Amino acid sequence: MANMFALILVIATLVTGILWCIDKFIFAPKRREKRAAAQAAAGNTLDAQTLKKVEPKPGWLETGASVFPVLAIVLVVRSFIYEPFQIPSGSMMPTLLIGDFILVEKFAYGIKDPIYQKTLIETGHPKRGDIAVFKYPKEPTLDYIKRVVGLPGDRVTYDPISKEVTVEPNCSSGQACGKALPVTYSNVEPSDFVQTFSARNGGEASSGFFQLPLDQTKSGGIRLDERKETLGEVSHNILMVPIAQDQVGMYYNRTSTWIVPPGHYFMMGDNRDNSADSRYWGFVPEANLVGKATAIWMSFEKQEGEWPTGVRLSRIGGIH
């Protein structure tokens, strides 16, 4: 079932919609009749303000009926067109930063009912390189955001030492694959970000990320490396912790090569050493997909779990 807010929104829209219909088709005609009779009895001398006092609309009915159009628009837009999300962690840095507020295109991967999230109309499927929001398979009440790396049938290999991805399409049989997808990398360069480390919480690093010039540092911090990854036709930057090396024993099925099952997707965060993703908990069913991240509509300067300290207007725009 969808999150509680969606359920409350549907119920509120339904209730106010019923009140709107009752008012429009039952009470409003009666009010018009009584006001017309009063106007006729007064010889057409009553002004609009006086007429409103004849059979006035109950306050509870007026409020419910007036709120309905607003709720209906919000429900349609949020359920079928765009939904806003906030980025709470640094797992998708440098593409998305903590404090970014994004718009997610809900119809990109199918039009779904707002309660049970069952697909009503198929409109498309994720492509490699998409940034997708989805329900975390192990706890569907949580929304995760990652980049689509592997499609159904792909063989995905991740080298924990070089931190590079290899994708071989259409390997669902487990046999030799066809031509590998072109995945290329630029040289490793120091990034603009310095990371300070703290205890982990639920798999995602609860560390601090600070954007500092290359000639500055922070006590106890490590400057992250950055390079450009080109996944087929999609290019984006990824971050890496220079001293970090993943333990394959912690990976899903204790392997660094996965064949994506039919109807599932392999997701990875752009902040490769600070992302709990498909490497650790497996594949994302298509039914869990929420939509495609398309734009940043607001961005606040902040750290994970802390209050904002500023606004980053320069980040408003499309997501790549």
- Do 93 and 181 share a domain, yes or no? yes
Question: In this model, does residue 101 exceed pLDDT 90?
Answer: yes
- Do 77 and 91 share a domain, yes or no? no
Give the residue with greater pLDDT, 302 vs 54: 302
- Do 91 and 72 share a domain, yes or no? no
Contacts of 278 (CB under 8 A, 6+ apart): 146, 149, 150, 252, 258, 265, 266, 267, 268, 284
Per-residue pLDDT tens digits for 296-313: 999 999 998 889 999 999
- Do 76 and 91 share a domain, yes or no? no
- Do 139 and 244 share a domain, yes or no? yes
- Do 107 and 33 share a domain, yes or no? no
Question: In this model, does residue 204 exceed pLDDT 70?
Answer: no
- Cis, peptide link before residue 261, omega less than 30° from 0: no
Question: In this model, does residue 68 exceed pLDDT 70?
Answer: yes
Which of 30, 65, 81 terminates a domain? The answer is: 81
Q: Which domain holds residue 167?
A: 87-318
- Binned at pLDDT 50, 70 and 90, residue 184 comes out as very high
- Binned at pLDDT 50, 70 and 90, residue 33 comes out as confident
Query: What percentage of residues in the chain have a pLDDT greater than 70?
Result: 94
- Do 72 and 98 share a domain, yes or no? no
- Do 211 and 304 share a domain, yes or no? yes
Query: What percentage of residues in the chain have a pLDDT greater than 90?
Result: 66
pTM of the predicted model, to two decimals?
Answer: 0.85
Which of 47, 81, 115 terminates a domain? The answer is: 81
Q: Report yes or no: 237 and 189 within 8 Å, Cβ to Cβ.
A: no
pLDDT score, position 14:
93
- Do 230 and 257 share a domain, yes or no? yes
Question: Which residues form the catalytic set?
Answer: 91, 146
- Do 58 and 168 share a domain, yes or no? no
- Do 38 and 127 share a domain, yes or no? no
pLDDT score, position 1:
46
Domain count, the chain: 2
- Do 16 and 133 share a domain, yes or no? no
